[in-house]
Structure 1
Amino acid sequence: MNPELFLADLHDKPARLRELSLADAWGFVSAPMRVLLLGMGSSHYANLVVAARLRAGGVDAVAELASSDLLPAVAPGTLVVAVSASASSAETLDAVDRLGVPVVALANRPGPLTERAERTVWMHAGEERGGVACRSFQHTLALLLARESRLTGAPLPPVQQAAEATEDLLARAAEWRPRLAELLLGPDGTHVVAPARRISSAYQSALMLREGPRLPAVGCETGDWSHVDVYLTRTTDYRMLLLGGSRWEAQLLDWTGRRGSTVVAVGADVPDATSTLRYPHDGVDDVRLLTETLVAELLAAHAWLAAP
């Protein structure tokens, strides 16, 4: 793992997104009776959001950690998609072997998973020389959303708008990043909060701070925050990166306001936020989904570079 190369990987995001073709990525798959998404880490985060969207669109879909001892029974007509950027995650390979059914791999490079798979959908995220799954996470989401589009008739994900939003955040990073780093990287860690429909953004953003600079960080869903994380606002120097757009923000902000917590809002104007960061097309929810993790990724990259 290398922080300089991780930062370079981030700056390559817009170009890679613009090259990504989605229209025919899943053309070989017929409409399944059920969808099972398998993965670990970032792959599982993306799977969670897309499985929920598929269910909301009337498709029987579930996302499972590949390490689970309680994998669902696979009936005929089930599309099993095993997601691993490296195509070598041990738990995902084990799950594929345990299920013993044909699978489609979603991978960024050839490996044991693509060798086991019946077909492969390639992420086309390029080599991530920094050793951190950043572009591959973004491309995983885009490609899984393209699968949702084929199954439910939803529009294809707005990758070109996401590329423009990503490019803007990168171009202006010298203006916003130092201030946000000062506000968010506190002595008691960073808390990232997002709506359920974009929970992958909270989990992935927190992971980026843990994986590179090894900073304490956790992700939480906006509504659930008032039930599970609110308690820390009373006893710690609480720093929150709030990825906006949830209808449950008011009760969260009531608590953080009363207890003087630091709240940095991204992608939406939030009343009484300590600071707010907007970017082009952030009124489009799927642009947020494909873009907003870049904020924490850039904070992580520079904190990693500055670490002893």
Structure 2
Amino acid sequence: MNPDAFAADLHRKPEVLRRLAAALSAGNPWAEAVPADTERVVLIGMGSSAYAGGVAAARMRSRGLIATSELASSQLLPRWGARTTVVATSASGGSVETLDALDRLEGTTPTVALTNTTASAITERCDAVVDMGAKPEAGGVACRSYQHTLAMLLALECHLTGSSTAALAETVAAAAAASAYLLDTESDWRPQLSELLLGPSGTHLAAPAHRFSSAQQGALMLRECPRLPAVGCETGDWSHVDVYLTKTTDYRLLVFAGSPWETQLAEWTTARGSTVVGVGADVAGAREVLRYPGDTDDDVRLLTEVLVPELLAAAAWRSAAPSTA
């Protein structure tokens, strides 16, 4: 893991996303990978892969599809029988829990590997392979591959519902433009957000349920890179599980806007003087709000907004000790 290379990986996001948009405009990469008789989909993975899978499966269910996302480490994987396809996600292609889960599946279950690494162990275990197209991440941190996992699982949703990927390609291109804006203007907003959010008691992130992965992944970036305490929470659930800390700690909260439950959250954070920063739209009680082009489109938000905590993490990591094991 290397902080300078991680920062460079982030700065390549617009370029690599534009390539992905072009690929999706040319066709759906899942068309040849998923058996035609598929009626049920099981997504398995760990870490960032599981975060993306959770949102993707929920979206599929909202479209009437039978889909679930499970931690590959679980001993309770679905046994849905015929016409079930398992999608195993691992950017490196070597996640040991995911490989183990593949070994535990029924022998006749079709499997598709979603990976960023060709000729890896996962590609040898699965019946078909879909390339994320995120390019090698020299920093050793899954950043572009997380973003591309989301985009590729949205493409899977398109395939299973019989929809074209043309609109998705436009969304990915818009996310590339939004990412470029955040990178180009980082010096205007990042120092202030770092000051507000990286507190002595850690950082908390909240996102609406349909984009919960943004809070999970953003928190992971702060834990994995500069090794700072950080926790992701769903905005509605925040009032049931996280609110308690606003009374006893120097509470710092980044809110990815878009949940109908933000007003309830703001009642507590305002009353207790918590530090709140909004991203993507106005958030009640926020000391700062960061906007970017395309942030009125929910799918653009999904594919873009995690870059904000990633850049906070990159700056904190580079200013810390020379190396982090």
The structural deviation recorded for 1:31 is 5.4
Q: How does 1:278-293 map to 2 (within 5 A)?
A: 278-293=291-306
Distance across 1 between alignment mates of 2:245 and 2:80: 41
Cα distance change on mapping 1:31 and 1:239 into 2, 3 Å = farther
Q: Could you tell me how far apart the structure 2 residues matched to 1:102 and 1:115 are?
A: 13
- What root-mean-square deviation, in Å, do the aligned CA atoms of Structure 1 and Structure 2 show? 1.0
1:90 and 1:280 map into 2 onto residues whose CA distance is 39
Normalised by the length of structure 1, the TM-score is 0.98
Give the SS at the match of 1:242.
Answer: strand
Q: Deviation at 1:293? A: 0.4
**1:104-183 map, 5 Å:** 104-110=112-118, 111-153=120-162, 155-156=167-168, 158-183=171-196
Alpha-carbon separation, structure 1, partners of 2:149 and 2:264: 32
Offset, 1:12:
0.1
CA distance in 2, matches of 1:40, 1:117: 17
User: What residue is the counterpart of 2:11 in the other structure?
Assistant: 11
**Equivalence map 1:246-265=2 (5 Å):** 246-265=259-278
CA distance in 1 between partners of 2:135 and 2:195 (Å)? 32
User: Aligned to 2:87, which of 81, 97, 102?
Assistant: 81
Give the equivalent residue in structure 2 for 1:197: 210
Other-structure match for 1:26: 30
Change (3 A) 1:278 1:153: farther
Q: Point out where structure 2 has 5 or more consecutive residues left out of the alignment.
A: none
Residue of structure 1 aligned with 2:103, choices 97, 100, 106:
97
Tell me the secondary structure at the aligned position of residue 149 of structure 2: helix
Q: How far off is 1:74 after superposition?
A: 3.4
Task: Specify the SS of the correspondent of 1:69.
Answer: coil
TM-fit CA distance, 1:162 = 0.2
* Off by >2 Å, runs of 4+ in structure 1: 152-157
Give the Å deviation of 1:69: 1.0
Structure 1 portions without partners, runs of 5+? none
The percent of aligned pairs where both chains have the same amino acid is 63
Contact 2:239 2:264 in 1 (8 A): yes
CA distances 1:209-261 after superposition (whole Å, capped 9, x unpaired): 00000000000000000000000000000000000000011000000000000
Residues in 1 aligned to 2:231 and 2:162: alpha-carbon distance in whole angstroms: 34
1:169·1:279 contact (CA, 8 Å) conserved in 2? yes
Question: TM-score scaled by structure 2?
Answer: 0.93
**Match runs of 1:264-283 below 5 Å:** 264-283=277-296
Which deviations, in whole Å up to 9, do the C-alpha atoms of 1:151-181 show, x marking residues without a partner?
A: 2256425100000000000000011000000
Distance 1:271 1:232 in 2: 19
